[in-house]
């Protein structure tokens, strides 16, 4: 498992989810003792370390802040998943986010990222999980705050001692908003496969409100956006021949495309053009490119809308996590004397 943890830092930087705002809440924190640490209960004697708090680099204030595990998880779940989702989906998000944070904390201890100024992870959604304070969520939800605050806090409290492990280590718990109908192999996004992140069908995503989207750009706009990303493209006078999709992944996303003779990845093309995902087709007519897109996000790991669909079909948060993350165990974090 150590070899998987060694790539987590790069995965964490590249795992960019599509955050949806929700709420946080309060009740008695399970983590209160400053003289205790936690380990994972498993059949292995080796135990991963938990924490009573996380040190966050606030990308807005540029300061390092210490936040309790509970408050952090509530703030992350509130920022990452709509509060209207089923409680079992919110629980699944809480466990995935807790696992993500633990893995980030461990990686930071082993190989510190100096840009975090001693923090465990950042609040910047471009490089880490989204996070919102109680005050930020209260402002966003207005008169509905108390209802969602309570709902998310209860979901977090019910699973705050759970974590997803593979070979007794917290996994790189990638998640995204909406898949194209099948989740993606991380090798197609970040160049590295992981045994617990195998593509699975996610039929519930077809029902998501933003499953399909369309982006229309003029030839000049496409040229400007792609030139900013790929400086070596030799543009021709035939825009209709500029972009050709070459290879699709098993999940039907664009793996490789040709842009005027330059090979680019579907992920890079997606990011450069501002598309919701790399699952797209492209056409050209009347001086304009049209990109028909399916899904939202990188497509790896747990689909958030897929999780909500499964929850509404009667699946528990454990069912959801074990469906999207292969061959994993939902372990209990146990306090031990430090």
3-class SS at 226? helix
Beta strand pairing status for 288-294 and 280-285?
Answer: antiparallel
Q: How far apart are the first and last CA of the chain?
A: 25
Radius of gyration for the chain, computed over Cα atoms and rounded to the nearest angstrom = 21
The answer to whether 171 and 328 are in contact (CB under 8 A) is: yes
DSSP 83-98: TTS-HHHHHHHHHHHH
Is 56:123 a contact under the CB 8 Å cutoff?
Answer: yes
- The pTM (predicted TM-score) of the whole model is 0.84
pLDDT tens by residue, 60-82: 999 999 999 999 999 999 999 99
| DSSP label at residue 141 | H
Neighbours of 245 (CB within 10 A): 15
Instruction: Quick: pLDDT tens for 34-60.
Output: 222 334 444 333 343 446 899 999 999
**What distance separates the 2 farthest-apart alpha carbons in the chain?**
70
* Bridge partner list, 331: 163
Which of 286, 291, 317 lies closest to 304, judged by CA? Answer: 317
User: What is the reported pLDDT for 51?
Assistant: 61
């Amino acid at each position: 498992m150590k070899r998987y943890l060694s790539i987590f830092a790069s995965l964490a930087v590249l795992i960019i989810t599509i955050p949806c705002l929700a709420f946080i809440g309060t009740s008695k924190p399970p983590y209160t003792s400053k003289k205790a640490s936690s380990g994972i209960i498993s059949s292995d004697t080796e135990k991963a370390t938990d924490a009573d708090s996380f040190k966050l680099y606030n990308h807005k204030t540029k300061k390092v802040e210490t936040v309790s595990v509970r408050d952090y998880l509530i703030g992350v779940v509130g920022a990452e998943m709509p509060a209207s989702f089923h409680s079992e989906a919110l629980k699944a998000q809480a466990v995935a986010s807790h696992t993500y944070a633990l893995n980030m904390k461990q990686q930071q201890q082993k190989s510190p990222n100096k840009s975090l100024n001693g923090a465990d992870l950042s609040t910047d959604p471009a490089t880490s999980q989204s996070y919102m304070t109680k005050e930020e969520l209260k402002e966003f939800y207005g008169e509905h705050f108390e209802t969602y605050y309570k709902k998310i806090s209860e979901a977090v409290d019910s699973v705050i001692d759970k974590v997803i492990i593979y070979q007794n280590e917290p996994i790189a718990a990638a998640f995204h908003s909406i898949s194209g109908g099948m989740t993606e192999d991380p090798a197609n996004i970040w160049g590295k496969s992981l045994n617990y992140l195998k593509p699975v069908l996610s039929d519930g995503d077809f029902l998501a409100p933003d499953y399909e989207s369309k982006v229309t750009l003029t030839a000049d706009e496409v040229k400007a956006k792609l030139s900013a990303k790929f400086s070596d493209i030799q543009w021709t006078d035939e825009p209709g021949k500029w972009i050709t999709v070459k290879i699709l992944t098993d999940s039907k996303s664009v793996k490789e495309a040709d842009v005027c003779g330059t090979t680019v990845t579907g992920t890079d093309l997606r990011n450069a053009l501002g598309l919701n995902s790399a699952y797209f087709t492209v056409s050209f007519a009347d001086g304009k490119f049209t990109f028909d897109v399916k899904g939202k996000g990188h497509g790896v790991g747990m689909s958030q809308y897929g999780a909500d669909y499964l929850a509404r079909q009667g699946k528990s948060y454990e069912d959801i996590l074990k469906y999207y993350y292969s061959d994993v165990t939902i372990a209990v974090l146990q306090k031990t004397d430090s």
